Structure 1
Amino acid sequence: MDALATPARRIGRAAALALAVGLALTACTSGGGGSADNVVKSEAPRQGSNDINPKPLEQIRDGGEVKFPLYQWITQWNPFQVDGRYGDAVDIMRVLEPELFKTDETGTFKPVADYLVDAKVTSTSPQVITYKLNPKAKWSDGKPLSYLDFKADWEASNGKKDGYNIADSAGYELISAVEQGADPAEVKVTFSEPYADWQNLFRPLIPAAGIATADDFNKGWVDKVPITAGPLKIGTADKTAQTLTLVPDPAWWGTKPKLDKVTFRVMSQSATTQAYLNNEIDFATAGTATAYGQLKDAKDTVIRSASPWDEVHISFGGGGPLADQKVRQALGKALDRNALIKIANNGVPVEFKPLGNHIIMPNQTGYQDNSGEWAKFDLAAAKKALDEAGWKEAGSGQPRTKDGQALSLHWVLNEATPQAQVDLATAAQAMWLAAGVKVEVDKVPSNDFFTKYVNAGKFDIASWRNTDSFPLSTSLTNFRLPQGDNVFGNFSKLGSEEIDGLLKKAAGTIDPAEAAKLYNQADAKIWELGHTVELYQRPTVVASRKGLANYGAFGLASTDYARIGWEK
């Protein structure tokens, strides 16, 4: 379970915008048994695959507990709020609140019958979606789900209300009306422009009573979930012990969950291997050489893998020397991505390949490599770009200078970073110094990495993962121009009207092939902008306790906590 991931799976399964396990927390260490270089690599799992030990409920025993790691304590629980996009928070919220649609292993949306009798397009001009709600569905305060909840979520997230610090207005800003339909259990949502990924909206649905004011929206979900409507609810949340439990909600109207309790305990990712071996948790990442080496032969353990929407990248800030696009482009050209990926991939059984797209993963239809010259290792071209930007060489091993200032940047690194990420950062430092750019690495506390640095845009260079920017329209939040103080998920604060226009047009294009063309055009512009250097799609490689059913490596599918349990 990869927690620090920005959205949008774990915002999806973590939806993922997400929110983000830093590359710092996921890159693969070069240690572990001494034979890591000899691990036989397999191709990443294909589209439509996942590995979760699927079992029907009749083959799962009643009761029991499953224990998972959590990489960061969850403070903001509102997934529509900018600080609430942390991956595991959204993943958990989708079992506490109504998740109207789930995705299967191919990434196809399926309505959830516990909440929806039906949901479909009932008009195309204008586009109207009619939702028929399950009349049994009720909030924990006793109120039935209704159009008022849809309306409140829309009004809070469309970017038109002052004081609402929203995470993403994509889709919501295109809605022109939310009304009651033929009866209180019917909701009509009308769009001013076509929106292809409407099924990804209202996921999860948040109660109107919980976001009535900006203060409720921003602060009412801090350290608490005031209203729920899911198969599980929070049992205990012990911030001192950094332990969270979910238990079945007796008011749940659907199929009763099998487990008595799901327990999450905060720990660093590097601590999960030993915790798993000590039977303190039942699931751990095996995506590092050290972890894989120790876990692959552990007793009662199965290694599972799949390819989710999950990418590892290096992001550039937009301040100081990096306000100049040529400097950002030079940094991209100075990096030997293949060498960096090799550091990350050492000792891991699934092959990492360079990622050439910010929006579409290699196992998704429509993928193409748009990186072009911007991610091609070319030291001479990097130096030339810096020359053109006015940064003069100062001699071998020295930073370039301009107007008496040295070209020195800071890489903000999570202090929980494993050795491989330190190795990767060290290698990148050397590559950049060869071009005349000095980069210093600053380690910051794990709990501050996103909230005080990444989310606040206080970095020159930083690495993290975006997870579950899926469906493709959710990518807008990662690259759109900020509006005032709202940066959405674009923590670099870099963008253009052209990129925004292409992404919005793609989101409104119903034909998947035509939409893919537009997304690829936008992606090419993102590469040219020098916004982010993509490294690789990160496959999920995990160790799961033998007998744990309906959980593992999900690929493009949603997590369903209510179906998790132990085989009979």
Structure 2
Amino acid sequence: MRRTTVAAIAAALSCTLAVAGCSSSGHDDKPVRKQAAPGADGQNINAHPVSDLRQGGSLHFGIDQWITQYNINTVDGSQGDAQEIIRAVLPDLFDADAKGAIHNNPDFLVSAKVTSASPQVVEYQLNPKARWSDGKALSWRDFKAQWKALNGADDAYEAADTSGYDQISRVEQGTGALGVKVTFSSPYADWQRLFDPLYPASYIDTPDKFNKGWSEKAPVSGAAFKVGAYDKTGQTITIVPDPKWWGNKPKLDSVVYRALDTSAKTEAYLNKEIDEAPALLPEDYKRLVKAADTDIRRGARWDEVHITLNGGRGPLKDVKVRNALQAAINRKGVNTSFSKDLSFELKPLNNHFFMPNQQGYQDNTSEFDSYDPAKAGKLLDEAGWKDAGEGKPRTKDGRKLTLDYTLSAGGTSAQTDQAELVQQMLGAVGVKVDIKKVPANDYFNKFVNTGNFDITSFRNVDAVYQTMLTPVFLRPKGKNLYQNFGSVGSPKIDALLKKAGGTTDHAAAVKLYNQADTEIWKLGHSIELYQRPQIDAVRSGLANYGAFGLADTDYTKVGWLKK
């Protein structure tokens, strides 16, 4: 199952208290020998044939928050942990391999292919064994209901992303009872990302069902696992094998997800409460690498850390102020301080759509994205914010230039360190930054997703299709922010993204995405920092799980090795 998608968001991490860098993390002040990061297809999952696994056992994971929404096509459901769970219990039509190549999942599809180019027609043949937990067979009606909910024609459906679905003209029965025929009004290159996962028609066919029917529960399933228990008091969600599953039987008896503050995951791993923990931060790595029966598994993932600027309110509505922040924040300083004690090379990220190890990557930064406090000051002057003297916030019409930097209280100390570094940098040009910590369970639902912040930092991950990023940069429509939480966009960007999404020539699409990216940098939508290395501590006896890179997780193959 696909672990997460683009809006699978987690708190960003960095390490420093000073612009010049952070102090040594206990390595006797010896410089850390840097290694090249894994290639685009790099992964380490302790791969084994299923025959090597024992039957039974549980797997325990830490997640960032209690799941309030299991419809991942809504904004609240786009949080990464919700996607991790729902993709284990609903039909996952396509899977990515270690190189990011997409393949049909035979448990659900006999075939899926483009059968006509003009107009573009995609025909699916469903596996006759595939059924929902309520006994109904998967059918074209499920595809049609999902299209109607996500095509943007009815604003009552609170869709996080309408891209691709809005280019479909009709969905109908295809060849035979198990055939599905999808006709597009204009070509759409990334058609495989649609209807994946698939939701059942009878549970999303009205706005009320779509918006509220999946709140804090998954009312139906259709895969190898189903949700066995929700324990809000204990903050755990448990999935168990579904006895009605028609495919290869899972080896695990259960997978338990427990909401934990990020800062608590290392301790929970060392106490054997969870079986995997991030080992990226030096202070975590030092402790985890010494743990008994532990592997440090590394991979290359589509994973970017950035700072989002909210152009939907306050001083940041002015593009000159956003551009000033771009010039005032020393991206290289943030990156260098964070990577000081890492064994990975940390390359600067100068593109919103492609990672440095991806085909199509190029530097699209603007004139505002090189560290230049003098330029930042000049831009603030032009925006009417007067210099009040060293150490004091600028003023305009009797108001002080003050912004909040919103953080999850459940984040790591490194997250706070990054905020404090940005606070220093912006303070040097007359922008006062107040660091605002909010409850972990509220961070996305009540602050990020609603645009209730001035500055914040999180990650977008696993954007193996560039069209997955469309809602991140699309101009909001009314109260629907899509995933453009800072509300920064333009008609030109919208047009370029729409054209790119409809371009089946890959080279031409790459060119269009880079043109859109150039405009995104100029507008000060967000400040890219770095591609986050994938370094995880995993129990040594766990097979077919770990640092997946670009690949998806197949929980039917995950389990504990025979002793």
* TM-score, L = length of structure 1: 0.96
* Number of the residue aligned with 2:4: 14
SS in 2 for 1:372: coil
User: Aligned partners of 2:154, 2:485: CA distance in 1, in Å?
Assistant: 21
User: Aligned partners of 1:39, 1:229: CA distance in 2, in Å?
Assistant: 48
Structure 1 position 346, deviation (Å):
3.2
Letter in structure 1 aligned against 2:126: L
Deviations 1:129-152 (A, max 9, x none): 000000000001111000000000
* Number of the residue aligned with 1:208: 201
Structure 1 position 244, deviation (Å):
1.5
Structure 1 position 515, deviation (Å):
0.7
Letter in structure 1 aligned against 2:129: K
Letter in structure 1 aligned against 2:536: V
Deviations 1:372-419 (A, max 9, x none): 323200111111111111111111111111111111111111112322
Closer/same/farther in 2, CA of residues 487 and 93 from structure 1, 3 Å limit: same
* Number of the residue aligned with 2:14: 27
Structure 1 residue 475 and structure 2 residue 469: aligned? yes
Structure 1 residue 294 and structure 2 residue 287: aligned? yes
SS in 1 for 2:226: strand
Structure 1 position 154, deviation (Å):
0.4
User: Aligned partners of 1:302, 1:498: CA distance in 2, in Å?
Assistant: 47
Structure 1 position 270, deviation (Å):
1.2
User: Aligned partners of 2:237, 2:65: CA distance in 1, in Å?
Assistant: 11
Closer/same/farther in 2, CA of residues 415 and 36 from structure 1, 3 Å limit: farther
* Number of the residue aligned with 2:19: none
Structure 1 position 295, deviation (Å):
0.7
SS in 1 for 2:426: helix
* Number of the residue aligned with 2:377: 383
* Number of the residue aligned with 2:37: 44
User: Aligned partners of 1:83, 1:71: CA distance in 2, in Å?
Assistant: 14
User: Aligned partners of 2:410, 2:255: CA distance in 1, in Å?
Assistant: 25
Gaps of 5+ in 1: 1-9
Closer/same/farther in 2, CA of residues 61 and 28 from structure 1, 3 Å limit: farther
SS in 2 for 1:38: coil
Structure 1 residue 567 and structure 2 residue 561: aligned? yes
SS in 2 for 1:294: helix
SS in 1 for 2:3: helix
* TM-score, L = length of structure 2: 0.96
User: Aligned partners of 2:515, 2:175: CA distance in 1, in Å?
Assistant: 42
* Residues 278 and 537, structure 2, Cα contact 8 Å, conserved in 1: yes
**Equivalent residues in 2 for 1:75-90, closer than 5 Å:** 75-90=68-83
Letter in structure 1 aligned against 2:14: A
Structure 1 residue 396 and structure 2 residue 390: aligned? yes
Question: Residue 313 of structure 1 is aligned with which of 306, 311, 329?
Answer: 306
* Number of the residue aligned with 1:3: none
* Number of the residue aligned with 2:273: 280
User: Aligned partners of 1:92, 1:111: CA distance in 2, in Å?
Assistant: 20
Structure 1 residue 447 and structure 2 residue 434: aligned? no
* Residues 28 and 287, structure 1, Cα contact 8 Å, conserved in 2: no
Letter in structure 1 aligned against 2:140: Y
**Equivalent residues in 2 for 1:363-382, closer than 5 Å:** 363-382=357-376
Question: Residue 162 of structure 2 is aligned with which of 166, 169, 176?
Answer: 169
SS in 2 for 1:128: strand
Structure 1 position 34, deviation (Å):
5.0
User: Aligned partners of 2:246, 2:54: CA distance in 1, in Å?
Assistant: 20
Letter in structure 2 aligned against 1:208: A
SS in 2 for 1:94: helix
* Residues 11 and 415, structure 2, Cα contact 8 Å, conserved in 1: no
* Number of the residue aligned with 1:435: 429
* Number of the residue aligned with 1:5: none
Letter in structure 2 aligned against 1:21: A
Closer/same/farther in 2, CA of residues 294 and 479 from structure 1, 3 Å limit: same
Root-mean-square deviation over aligned CA pairs: 1.4
Gaps of 5+ in 2: 17-21
Deviations 1:165-220 (A, max 9, x none): 01100100000010101211000000001000000111100000111211111111
Question: Residue 46 of structure 2 is aligned with which of 10, 34, 53?
Answer: 53
Structure 1 residue 531 and structure 2 residue 521: aligned? no
Closer/same/farther in 2, CA of residues 99 and 118 from structure 1, 3 Å limit: same
Closer/same/farther in 2, CA of residues 37 and 219 from structure 1, 3 Å limit: farther
* Residues 343 and 424, structure 1, Cα contact 8 Å, conserved in 2: no
User: Aligned partners of 2:128, 2:215: CA distance in 1, in Å?
Assistant: 30
Letter in structure 2 aligned against 1:14: T
User: Aligned partners of 1:234, 1:88: CA distance in 2, in Å?
Assistant: 14
SS in 2 for 1:522: helix
User: Aligned partners of 2:15, 2:84: CA distance in 1, in Å?
Assistant: 24
Question: Residue 334 of structure 1 is aligned with which of 328, 331, 334?
Answer: 328
Structure 1 position 421, deviation (Å):
2.1
How many percent identity over aligned positions? 52
Structure 1 position 39, deviation (Å):
3.0
* Residues 356 and 371, structure 1, Cα contact 8 Å, conserved in 2: yes
Letter in structure 2 aligned against 1:198: W
User: Aligned partners of 1:216, 1:27: CA distance in 2, in Å?
Assistant: 40
Letter in structure 2 aligned against 1:513: A
Structure 1 residue 514 and structure 2 residue 503: aligned? no
Closer/same/farther in 2, CA of residues 528 and 426 from structure 1, 3 Å limit: same
* Number of the residue aligned with 2:482: 488
* Residues 171 and 183, structure 2, Cα contact 8 Å, conserved in 1: yes
User: Aligned partners of 1:293, 1:35: CA distance in 2, in Å?
Assistant: 13
Deviations 1:432-469 (A, max 9, x none): 11111111111111111111111110111011111123
* Residues 331 and 432, structure 1, Cα contact 8 Å, conserved in 2: yes
Structure 1 position 162, deviation (Å):
3.3
User: Aligned partners of 1:492, 1:43: CA distance in 2, in Å?
Assistant: 34
* Residues 6 and 469, structure 2, Cα contact 8 Å, conserved in 1: no
SS in 2 for 1:234: strand
* Residues 248 and 257, structure 1, Cα contact 8 Å, conserved in 2: yes
**Deviates further, 402-411 or 324-333:** 402-411
User: Aligned partners of 1:419, 1:214: CA distance in 2, in Å?
Assistant: 41
User: Aligned partners of 2:275, 2:415: CA distance in 1, in Å?
Assistant: 25
User: Aligned partners of 1:93, 1:128: CA distance in 2, in Å?
Assistant: 28
* Number of the residue aligned with 2:136: 143
* Number of the residue aligned with 2:174: 181
SS in 1 for 2:143: helix
* Number of the residue aligned with 1:6: none
Aligned length: 555
User: Aligned partners of 1:97, 1:417: CA distance in 2, in Å?
Assistant: 30
SS in 2 for 1:423: helix
Structure 1 residue 356 and structure 2 residue 350: aligned? yes
Deviations 1:344-390 (A, max 9, x none): 22322222221001111112110011113232001111111111111
Letter in structure 1 aligned against 2:114: V
Structure 1 position 278, deviation (Å):
1.3
Structure 1 position 32, deviation (Å):
4.6
User: Aligned partners of 1:364, 1:226: CA distance in 2, in Å?
Assistant: 38
Question: Residue 459 of structure 2 is aligned with which of 450, 456, 465?
Answer: 465
Letter in structure 2 aligned against 1:27: S
User: Aligned partners of 1:116, 1:37: CA distance in 2, in Å?
Assistant: 54
User: Aligned partners of 1:520, 1:465: CA distance in 2, in Å?
Assistant: 20
SS in 2 for 1:291: helix
Question: Residue 258 of structure 2 is aligned with which of 245, 252, 265?
Answer: 265
SS in 2 for 1:202: coil
